[in-house]
Structure 1
Amino acid sequence: MPIDAAQVLAAEPRTVEISWTPRDVLLYHLGIGAGLPATDPGELRYTLETRLHVLPSFATVAGGGSPGVIRGLSMPGVDVDLARVLHGGQSLTVHRPLPVAGTATAGSRIAAVYDKGTAAVLVMRTEVADGDGPLWTDDAEIFVRGEGGWGGDRGPSVRPAAPAGEPDRTVERTVREDQALLYRLSGDRNPLHADPEFAERAGFERPILHGLCTYGMTLKAVVDTLFGGDVTRVRSCTTSFAGVVYPGETLRIRMWRLEGRVQVTVGAVERDDAPVLTGTIVDHG
């Protein structure tokens, strides 16, 4: 079996030192669509170093290395075809506001392996801390098609109930044609997001947007729309990637206010609101 669950779970955590600068933060913000309009004071919080605030989702690319999905595929006991891999979900908890520049230690391990029958799911957990203590904890769910069926634990299946009633706010965000090409400069060079031939081999009509780019665009929309641009209010953001986004499409982001959290759904406007993100919860202070 290309995934040896026992070996994966027994592997020692991999620890590396990561660092980032304001330039990295600025590039990430541009990669998720910040800066339009360019002179908007709300956008300058993301694009001008003298006013810079760090959107918490920057944690998913901090250090410029491989994202959790790619790191997970390089762990002992994992030998799979990248073309059969999808990012199934993401959970990020921030323990304090992210600094605009920093050096930290990141420890990564496979925290769980689930057998979904037709697929396997690996949960890649990364815990990051600097000299002042924990910064964030990041879980990436790695969905590997065709690698289930060995009789293992199916894992949790409980998802948040669908939102009730009309959303409190709805916004639309356009994905630029070159969005994936810009976003990949923050570290995720998976050819699925740039190479048409690779995308076709993976079963897509053309390169798709990174799920974490949609994730960042959605969190930014919540922060800007409901939190007045205050990035420090975010405590965590969890989502499931329900469908793909193609560069050039429009995201329709619906938000429901709940006690201490915001529930969000995201659909692709041009494809009759085909679900893109589901089960999305932003916890806040």
Structure 2
Amino acid sequence: MPVDAATALAAAPDSRRIAWGPRDVQLYHLALGAGVPATDPRELRYTLESRLHVLPAFATVAGGGPPGVIRALSVPGVDVDLARVLHAGQSLTVHRPIPLHATVTATSRVTAVHDKGTAALLALRTETADDGGPLWTEEAHVHLRGEGGWGGDRGPSGRPAPPAGPPDEVVERPVREDQALLYRLTGDRNPLHADPDFAARAGFARPVLHGLCTYGMALKAAVDTVLGADVTRVRSYTTRFAGVVYPGETLRVRLWRREGRIRMAATAVERDDAPVLADTVVEHG
């Protein structure tokens, strides 16, 4: 069996030093579609050095290395073809505002391996800290197609009830034809997002947008619409990837305001509002 749950769970944590600066932050924001309109004061908070703030979802690309969904495949006990891997979900807890430049230690380990029958679901948690203490905790949930069925724990199956009533806000964001190519420059070089032949082998009609790009776009929509473009108000952000976005489509984000919380759902407009992000929650101060 390519996935050895016991070995993956017993593997020693992987620690690495990563660093970033304002240029990396600006590239990430531009890869999410920031800067339109270019002179909008709120957009300048994402693009102009003298006004720059860090959207917390930057944590998923900080340091420019591969994302958790790729790093999970190098864990002992995991030997899976990349074409059989899907990003199932992502969570982020922000302990302090992310600085514009820093050198930090990121420590990752597998915290769960669940047997879903036709697939395995692996959770890779990363704790990131600088000399001042913890900065953020993130967890990537990785769906490994065809790797289940060994009789292991299925894990939790409950999902939160969908938000009641119509959304308080609806935001639409265009996805550029070249957006996946730009987002790859942040460090995620998975060929699924650029190579038509690889995408076909993975079961897609053409290359798809990175799930983490959609994740960042949706958080930016929530921050700009509900939180007054104040990125420091975000405390945590979690989502389940319910489908894909193709470059050139339009992302529709529905937002429900709650006390200290934003519920969200994202869909692809051109495919009859096909679900993209579900069970999505932003906790804020």
TM-score after normalising by structure 1: 0.99
Distance 2:137 2:203 in 1: 32
Partner of 1:93: 93
Give the residue type in structure 1 aligned to 2:78.
Answer: V
Partner of 2:49: 49
Structure 1 vs Structure 2 CA RMSD: 0.5
Partner of 1:14: 14
Partner of 2:127: 127
Distance 1:60 1:274 in 2: 25
Number of residue equivalences: 285
Structure 1 SS opposite 2:220: helix
Give the residue type in structure 1 aligned to 2:13.
Answer: P
1:149-228 superposed matches below 5 A:
149-228=149-228
Residue 263 of structure 2 is aligned to residue 266 of structure 1: no
Q: Deviations over 1:112-134 (max 9, x none)?
A: 00000010011010000000000
Structure 2 SS opposite 1:29: helix
Q: Deviations over 1:109-163 (max 9, x none)?
A: 1110000001001101000000000000000000010000111111111222111
Where structure 2 has 5 or more consecutive residues not aligned to the other structure, the ranges are none
Structure 1 residue 216 displacement after superposition: 0.1
TM-score after normalising by structure 2: 0.99
Structure 2 SS opposite 1:200: helix
Distance 1:155 1:32 in 2: 33
Structure 1 residue 280 displacement after superposition: 0.1
Give the residue type in structure 2 aligned to 1:24.
Answer: D
Structure 1 residue 23 displacement after superposition: 0.4
Structure 2 SS opposite 1:255: strand
Structure 1 residue 238 displacement after superposition: 0.3
Partner of 2:141: 141
Structure 2 SS opposite 1:149: coil
Q: Deviations over 1:40-62 (max 9, x none)?
A: 11101000111000000000000
Q: Deviations over 1:157-179 (max 9, x none)?
A: 12221111010000100000000
Distance 2:113 2:222 in 1: 31
Identity of aligned residues (%): 74
Structure 2 SS opposite 1:216: helix
Distance 1:257 1:279 in 2: 14
Distance 2:211 2:155 in 1: 22
Structure 1 residue 91 displacement after superposition: 0.3
Partner of 2:70: 70
Structure 2 SS opposite 1:63: coil
Distance 1:60 1:225 in 2: 22
Give the residue type in structure 1 aligned to 2:120.
Answer: A
Give the residue type in structure 1 aligned to 2:99.
Answer: P
Give the residue type in structure 1 aligned to 2:238.
Answer: T
Distance 2:16 2:281 in 1: 29
Q: Deviations over 1:84-119 (max 9, x none)?
A: 000000000000100000010000011100000010
Partner of 1:255: 255
Q: Deviations over 1:1-57 (max 9, x none)?
A: 000000000000000001001000000000111011111111010001110000000
Distance 2:67 2:171 in 1: 28
Partner of 1:102: 102
Distance 1:181 1:157 in 2: 35
Distance 2:159 2:41 in 1: 37
Distance 2:282 2:146 in 1: 32
Where structure 1 has 5 or more consecutive residues not aligned to the other structure, the ranges are none
